[in-house]
Amino acid sequence: MEKQPQLHTIAPVYDENSRILILGSFPSVKSREAAFFYGHPQNRFWRVLAAVLGEEAPQTAAEKKSLLLRHGVALWDVIASCDIAGSSDASITNVAPNDLSRILDAAPVRRIFCNGGTAYRFYRRYDEAVWGKAEALPSTSPANARSSVQALTERWRAALAPWL
């Protein structure tokens, strides 16, 4: 698959009560088609986050937004535009980062988490000097086959619980 330039068009989810910011790298093809975060049915993000928060996994974009905002969680991606082959994080080049001040100047975020190593790597490159350290969490992507939903949930719960 050939790399194509892509622009991030999904608006961040946050409000004036957001205490945690979770950053992905860049939306997958399925997420871009669905026009919302973690749109691939095999991505475990929504199942893991709902379990951490003690709720049922949301199905619609409205339910997902409501889940995040009820619990003080903001959600966006590190990358605003890039060249990417399909959904392959490993293929990402020509990165332009998102301007995180859009969220971090508007909400009392106390902790930033990155969903996976690629998001963490780009956060460190483009944002850490401005916004401080983030914590890398294991990716919920189906490409991270070595982590079960249970293992992901335990790791994410341990990281997020003190900040919820």
Could you give the residue numbers annotated as active site?
Answer: 43
Label residue 78 exposed, middle or buried (CB < 10 Å: 0-12, 13-18, 19+): buried
Name the nearest CA neighbour of 77 among 103, 107, 110: 103
Taken as a whole, the chain contains a residue count of 164
Instruction: Map residue 157 onto helix, strand or coil.
Output: helix
CA angle 131/44/50 to nearest 5° reads 75
- CA distance to 27, 41, 110, 127, per residue, from 38 (Å): 7, 8, 23, 22
What 3 state SS string does 59-125 have? Answer: CCHHHHHHHHHHCCEEEEECEEEEEECCCCHHHCEEEEECCCHHHHCCCCCCEEEEECHHHHHHHHH
